[in-house]
Structure 1
Amino acid sequence: MEPSKLPLIPASFFGMVLGLAGLANTWRLAHNLWGLPELIGELLTFAAAATWLLVSILYLAKWVLRPAMAKAEAAHPVQCCFIGLGGVATMLVAQGMLPHSKAFATGLFALGATYTLAFAVWRTGLLLRGERDIGATTPRQYRLRIM
């Protein structure tokens, strides 16, 4: 198979969207509270949305072009959990788009919420089976198991 010219990014790259969207939302609040320039908040919102779109496309390309690499990431005890950031990033972008298009934002939020719920069910189901390395168990997970 010919090597892909697209960068095959890890799911943790969705964290960039969380940071940008958080900064954009904070700037919007600062505009409302202190009258800071509204344009900066809007530019940050669209930067977050553009980053989300690019990361989403590149991450999907990883699943299409290199499914074994993507499955290995999904099976990793730490890296797998970053996959869930895709849904959270989608919901944050939806929040940023709300003032511009309620219908688009609602649809995007529904997509992100559905993805997040599906990921949570899948990942929690794997954790509850108990077939994993005990070294990957954190104290918080252990506490949940005995309650």
Structure 2
Amino acid sequence: MPADHPENTRPATVRRVPLNLFGMAFGIAGLAVTWLTTARYGHAPLWAGRALLAVSAVVWAITVVRYARYALSVRGAFAADLTDPVAAPFASLAVITPMLPAAQGLHAYDSRAGTIVFDVFLVLTVLFGGWLTGQWIYGSLNLDQLHPGYFLPTVAGGLVAAAGAAAVGQRTLGYAMLGLGLICWFILGSMILARLFFRPALPPALYPTLAIEVAPAAVATVAYLSLRGPHVDVFAAILAGYGVLMVLAQLRLLPAFLRLRFAPSFWAFTFSWAAVATGVVHWTQILRPPGYLIYTYAALSAVTLLIAGIAARTVLAAFSGGGVRTGPPHTSTALAEEH
């Protein structure tokens, strides 16, 4: 191992903080949006969603502090993370996540402060998404390193920003961000599916990222309805059609998911399925089919139990010293070896 490798310069008391840990705050914020959406239709307490947003903000802050301590203590760690072809996309969650508490929470108490914080992180999200896109063009990528986490910087970033812009009253900006997210989804989605269809299977620790495949259509639906208002038109129906296909595809993946051992990568399930649940709440409340409240509460309960279970397992692993591991510091297979 070279003398200047980050592993060789790591103090004994500093543990590696993998970038996918930012998925914890992102998943909790996604659950908060599901609760807030249900509350705005009059079927859940508003305080529950806002409390979850506060929890997500606290978890985000703790993760930022932990990662900053690690990155400042280990020479070259930050640069290595941002150029790692497998891990780098997860870094975008550090700037995407705060848009949700700002637009959906802080804005309700102080509209000016909420808008400013939201806009700051929107700009950071776009800048980082642009930098990563340039890095992928400039750098040397192997198709087998591509995984659904590549949706995060631009697709998730753009669509979350679109919904947030609608919440703070910046509709034109919201449509611009919707365009960014949708076009990147169409381009990256075709490449990611081609890799998944025709290349060797993902490493086991990256299997949970397959859940991200359900997210783009669901988050696009939430963003579109946030901008256009709560009514279903042709484009919303088109998004729903593809979304249903991706949800059904997950059923075939269940055997692989059930064989996995718990790891931080399980947080990839959380925001993805929270977005699906939020989309279900919107659709059932807009169309109001027979038994629509049953569907609403079933979606809310299922995603709450899923995320609560992953959170409980994470806490248990942290206190027991097992399960949540820190793998190799900076290699193109770092996440794959965390498991």
Calculate the TM-score normalised by the size of structure 2. Answer: 0.38
Q: 1:140 and 2:191 equivalent?
A: yes
What's 2:42 paired with?
A: 34
What's 2:97 paired with?
A: 89
Change (3 A) 1:62 1:114: farther
What's 2:17 paired with?
A: 9
Q: 1:69 and 2:120 equivalent?
A: no
What's 2:29 paired with?
A: 21
Paired with 2:68 and 2:32, the residues of 1 have a C-alpha distance of: 25
Paired with 2:24 and 2:95, the residues of 1 have a C-alpha distance of: 13
**RMSD of equivalent CA atoms:** 2.7
What residue ranges of structure 2 are gaps of 5+ in the alignment? 1-8, 148-189, 195-339
Match of 1:98, SS?
helix
Pair member with larger Rg:
2
Paired with 2:112 and 2:44, the residues of 1 have a C-alpha distance of: 28
Paired with 2:112 and 2:65, the residues of 1 have a C-alpha distance of: 22
Deviates more, 1:130-139 or 1:51-60: 130-139
Change (3 A) 1:135 1:32: closer
Q: Select 2:136's aligned residue among 127, 131, 139.
A: 127
The offset of 1:2, in angstroms, is 7.9
What residue ranges of structure 1 are gaps of 5+ in the alignment? none
Retained in 1: the 8 A contact 2:14–2:73? Answer: no
What's 1:98 paired with?
A: 107
The offset of 1:72, in angstroms, is 2.4
Count of aligned residue pairs for this structure pair: 143
Retained in 2: the 8 A contact 1:86–1:112? Answer: no
Paired with 1:98 and 1:4, the residues of 2 have a C-alpha distance of: 42
The offset of 1:113, in angstroms, is 1.4
Change (3 A) 1:20 1:2: closer
Paired with 1:97 and 1:16, the residues of 2 have a C-alpha distance of: 20
Retained in 2: the 8 A contact 1:8–1:58? Answer: no
